[in-house]
């Protein structure tokens, strides 16, 4: 049954890819959606099987065929359905279905709708291969596959040159990470002689904490995660990736693909448990990314860019959690983030759809009256991301903060700062978009209308999920009364009835009462920031200034800390210079000329020798006589 999860999206890709041009548009869309939904249903069945199996069922394996078998090197196309991959697969197919359905309406004007859906299905397929693969190579397949789909979908509107550029940038940045991942894979194979998760992790159990090899593997794998999950220094592709159609941003660049890095680290928890230094690195990089992206988010005016930076920032949070060793918290945040970020992106898509492809929030305003459903759902998403009590984001962030607080107060303060900024810029975007006065001169306010049901329905479903999504992992203090079945769905419960997500028992984060009070004080703090934002953007109805009016630090933020420019200076331009130099001087001058030089030397020697051939018989005769004399002389002596 496991194979159907994978095969269905692939079928969807093939059918739409091959016959798409002769299938009527809406049918192509529904077809694509149906295949993903089918995959979702199968996943649900398997997941309930997995949960209900007693005694604990570790995982379902499925070996399809041998991919490579060279010498003692062996790779299978094989899948593994355990709780971790099941949860990822549920997110991918579940949210995938909603976004597919949403796209049918959102993309209905596009001529190559079938192409869009076939790419989306291919993405779902690749992502499922990534999370369901039973070995590192399968993961790498998926890893590169989703990168490819991301490339294809960012550059979907290929006539626009800058979109194509963004797509290439995403692919290349990801490839840099992939190289790190690949090297990590080789290192794993060299030391453990296998790529299969179970075999590798079993061998890791015998190593000491802090072994160099663990640290090296952990860091190399993390380089891969940096690329895919947009962490410093490889994050710059994600904001540019917003060039793609909005459902793509929601699916790939918010809910699923970018969380692959977190999946990787959680999957390799056995490695990271032995590499405290690597976790330290993850912690600080996550923190830096989270802060930096949040700061940049303060000054972005493209609604999708704001969301993109907020995604980067939230991914940073997840890595902070991973750095603290709070794998469950990170995974929890992946889930809730998938709900509310998909919701926000689809909401933004709905706004953009209503505004006829206007994305600048300064050109919006007052939309709440025209788009009530979008407004309400967007509000829920905003509240969820900012950690409003009892919404999904609250619980996951709370777990992350608990983990940080238990370990490092300094990190907590900085993380808190980042979370506070998140509250501010998210509400800034929300207020400027939906409140205040309508400011666009090109489209009349009257023409703006709520999006069709096919778009609002996914919004509503996601809004419900964002509201109650925290239920999948209620914290301890909520008591056991809420729901025994859902409680600790994610967490490791040693010896319990569920198969564990993690191989090693996760450390528990006990914090003192004072620190617990600090956590409780967060809500009023966020509320205060919310009020500040409300005062500025609702009461005073401030509008973010035009690009030209930016000054000082604000200008630096609006220009994203000039990171793209710095990368251009320090990497792109030098390499281009090297390339030109090699072409012009080394290849043309040094190599070609030096080898042509051998020919020229020959020609020169020939021209010297040809002087003897002056055509004059007398000289020839002299040469002949000299030659004869030499011959005679040789014979004599």
Q: Which neighbouring-strand residues pair with 65?
A: 77
Region 168-207 residues binding other proteins, contact defined as CB under 8 A: 168, 171-172, 175-176, 178-179, 182-183, 186-187, 189-190
- Enumerate residues 386-405 that contact other proteins by CB under 8 A: none
Of 514, 551, 617, 636, the one binding other proteins by CB under 8 A:
617
Residue 50 CA to chain centroid, in angstroms? Answer: 28
* 631 is an interface residue for other proteins by CB under 8 A: no
Residue 73 as a binder of other proteins (CB under 8 A): the answer is yes
CA 229 to chain CA centroid, Å, is 4
* Whether 190 contacts 257, CB under 8 Å: no
Report if residue 610 touches other proteins, rule: CB under 8 A.
yes
**Which of 179, 417 has the CB closer to other proteins?**
179
Convert residues 124-163 into a mask of x (bound to other proteins by CB under 8 A) and - (unbound): -------------x--xxx-xx--x--x---x--xxxx--
Exposed/middle/buried for residue 39 (C-beta within 10 Å: 0-12, 13-18, 19+): buried
Please report the DSSP string for 404-422 in residue order: HHHH-HHHHHHHHHHHHHH
Query: Which helix (H) or strand (E) segment is 219 a member of?
Result: helix 212-228
CB of 497 to other proteins, least distance (A): 37
State yes or no: residue 630 binds other proteins (CB under 8 A). no
Q: CA-CA distance, 335 to 523, in Å (whole number)?
A: 21
Give CA–CA dist 347/513, Å, rounded: 39
Integer Cα distance of 459 and 424 in angstroms: 23
Tell the smallest beta-carbon distance from residue 23 to other proteins (Å).
Answer: 14
Binding flag, residue 165, other proteins (CB under 8 A): yes
Among 3, 280, 549, 576, binds other proteins (CB under 8 A): 576
In the complex with other proteins, the residue whose CB is nearer, 215 or 314, is: 215
Q: Which is nearer to other proteins, 199 or 580 (CB)?
A: 580
Task: Tell me the site size for other proteins, rule CB under 8 A.
Answer: 64
Q: Which of residues 213-242 bind other proteins (CB under 8 A)?
A: none
- H helices of 325-371, in order, are 327-354
- Rounded to whole angstroms, what are the CA distances from 422 to 86, 172, 345? 30, 29, 16
595 binds other proteins (CB under 8 A): yes
Question: Least Å distance between CB 175 and other proteins?
Answer: 5
Q: How far is the CB of 111 from other proteins (least distance, A)?
A: 11
Q: Which stretch binds other proteins (CB under 8 A): 237-245, 295-303, 369-377, 577-585?
A: 577-585
Q: Minimal distance in Å, beta carbon 157 to other proteins? A: 9
209, 146 in Cβ contact below 8 A? no
The pair of structure tokens assigned to 452 is 């069709």
Out of 55, 71, 485, 495, which residue is the one contacting other proteins (CB under 8 A)? 71
Residue whose entry in the numeric block shows the structure tokens 């940096």: 226
Is residue 568 at the binding interface for other proteins, with CB under 8 A as the rule?
no
Closest C-alpha to 359, from 302, 435, 431, 309: 302
Question: Which of 578, 605, 631, 632 forms a contact with other proteins (CB under 8 A)?
Answer: 578
Cβ partners under 8 Å of residue 425, min gap 6: 294, 297, 298, 300, 306, 309, 310
Residue span binding other proteins (CB under 8 A) among the ranges 334-342, 365-373, 415-423, 576-584 = 576-584
Cα–Cα distance between 245 and 153 in angstroms, integer? Answer: 7
Within positions 9 to 48, which residues make up the interface with other proteins, using CB under 8 A? 21
Question: Please, what is the minimum distance in Å from the beta carbon of residue 308 to other proteins?
Answer: 21
User: How far is it, in rounded angstroms, from Cα 509 to Cα 527?
Assistant: 26
Q: Which stretch binds other proteins (CB under 8 A): 273-281, 381-389, 442-450, 589-597?
A: 589-597
CB of 22 to other proteins, least distance (A): 12
Least CB distance to other proteins at residue 576 (A): 6
Closer residue to other proteins in complex, CB, 225/467: 225
Q: What are phi and psi of 412, to 5 degrees?
A: -60, -45
Candidates 51, 59, 164, 276; binder of other proteins (CB under 8 A) is 164
CB of 636 to other proteins, least distance (A): 16
Residues 429-468 that bind other proteins (CB under 8 A): none
Q: Rounded distance, CA 348 to CA 354, Å?
A: 10
Helix (H, G, I), strand (E, B) or coil at 60: strand
Determine contact, residues 45/101, Cβ cutoff 8 Å: no
| Interhelix angle 513-520/522-534, nearest 10 degrees | 20
3-state DSSP percent of the chain in helix, strand and coil, to 5: 75, 5, 20
Strand pairing category for 73-81 and 60-70: antiparallel
Q: Which of 601, 621, 630, 632 is in the footprint of other proteins by CB under 8 A?
A: 621
Q: Would you state the structure tokens that stand for residue 478, as one six-digit string?
A: 């909520």
Q: Binding residues for other proteins, per CB under 8 A? A: 21, 65-73, 137, 140-142, 144-145, 148, 151, 155, 158-161, 164-165, 168, 171-172, 175-176, 178-179, 182-183, 186-187, 189-190, 575-576, 578-580, 582-583, 587, 591-592, 595-596, 599, 609-618, 621-622, 625
């Amino acid at each position: 049954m496991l194979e159907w999860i994978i095969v269905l999206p692939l079928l969807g890709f093939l059918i739409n890819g091959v016959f798409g041009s002769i299938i009527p548009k809406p049918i192509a869309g529904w077809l694509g959606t149906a295949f993903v939904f089918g995959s979702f249903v199968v996943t649900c069945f398997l997941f309930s099987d997995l949960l209900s199996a007693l005694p604990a069922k570790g995982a379902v394996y499925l070996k399809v065929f041998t991919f490579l078998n060279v010498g003692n090197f062996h790779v299978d196309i094989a899948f593994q359905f355990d709780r971790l991959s099941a949860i990822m697969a549920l997110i991918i197919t579940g949210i995938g279905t909603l976004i597919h359905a949403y796209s049918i309406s959102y993309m209905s004007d596009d001529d190559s709708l079938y192409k869009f859906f076939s790419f989306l299905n291919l993405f779902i397929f690749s992502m499922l291969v990534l999370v369901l693969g039973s070995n590192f190579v399968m993961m790498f397949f998926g890893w590169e596959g989703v990168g490819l789909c991301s490339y294809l979908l960012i550059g979907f509107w290929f006539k626009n040159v800058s979109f194509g550029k963004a797509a290439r940038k995403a692919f290349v940045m990801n490839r840099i990470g992939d190289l790190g991942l690949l090297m990590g894979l080789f290192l794993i194979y060299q030391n453990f002689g296998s790529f299969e998760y179970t075999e590798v992790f079993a061998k890791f159990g015998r190593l000491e904490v802090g072994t160099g090899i663990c640290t090296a593997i952990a860091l190399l794998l993390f380089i891969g995660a940096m690329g895919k999950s947009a962490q410093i220094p490889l994050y710059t592709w994600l904001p540019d990736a917003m060039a793609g159609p909005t459902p793509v941003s929601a699916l790939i660049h918010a809910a699923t693909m970018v969380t692959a890095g977190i999946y990787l680290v959680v999957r390799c928890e056995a490695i990271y448990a032995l590499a405290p230094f690597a976790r330290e690195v993850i912690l600080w990089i996550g923190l830096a990314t989270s802060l930096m992206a949040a700061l940049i988010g303060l000054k972005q005016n493209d609604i999708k860019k704001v969301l993109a930076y907020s995604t980067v920032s939230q991914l940073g949070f997840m890595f902070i959690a991973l750095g603290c060793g709070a794998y469950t918290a990170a995974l929890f945040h992946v889930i809730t983030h998938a709900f509310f970020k998909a919701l926000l992106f689809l909401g933004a898509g709905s706004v953009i759809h209503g505004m006829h492809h206007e994305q600048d929030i300064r050109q919006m305003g007052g939309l709440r009256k025209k788009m009530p459903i979008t407004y309400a759902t967007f509000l829920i998403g905003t509240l969820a991301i900012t950690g409003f009590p009892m919404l999904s984001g609250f619980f996951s962030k709370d777990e992350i903060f608990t983990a940080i607080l238990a370990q490092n107060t300094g990190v907590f303060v900085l993380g808190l700062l980042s979370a506070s900024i998140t509250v501010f810029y998210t509400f800034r975007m929300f207020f400027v978009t939906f409140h205040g006065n309508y400011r666009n001169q090109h489209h009349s306010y009257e023409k703006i209308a709520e999006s069709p049901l096919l778009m609002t329905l996914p919004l509503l479903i996601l809004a419900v999920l964002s509201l109650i999504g925290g239920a999948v992992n209620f914290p301890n203090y909520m008591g056991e009364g809420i729901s025994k079945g859902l409680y600790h769905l994610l967490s490791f419960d040693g010896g319990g009835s569920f198969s564990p997500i993690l191989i090693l028992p996760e450390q528990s984060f006990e914090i003192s009462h004072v620190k617990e009070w600090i956590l409780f004080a967060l809500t009023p703090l966020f509320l205060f920031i919310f009020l500040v934002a409300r005062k500025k953007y609702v009461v005073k109805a401030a509008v973010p200034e035009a690009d030209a009016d930016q000054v000082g630090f604000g200008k630096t933020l609006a220009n994203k800390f000039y990171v793209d420019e710095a990368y251009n200076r320090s990497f792109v331009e030098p390499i281009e210079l090297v390339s030109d130099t090699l072409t012009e001087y080394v290849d043309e001058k040094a190599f070609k000329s030096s080898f042509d030089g051998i020919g020229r030397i020959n020609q020169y020697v020939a021209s010297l020798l040809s002087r003897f051939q002056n055509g004059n018989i007398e000289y020839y005769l002299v040469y002949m006589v000299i030659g004869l004399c030499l011959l005679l002389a040789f014979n004599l002596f």
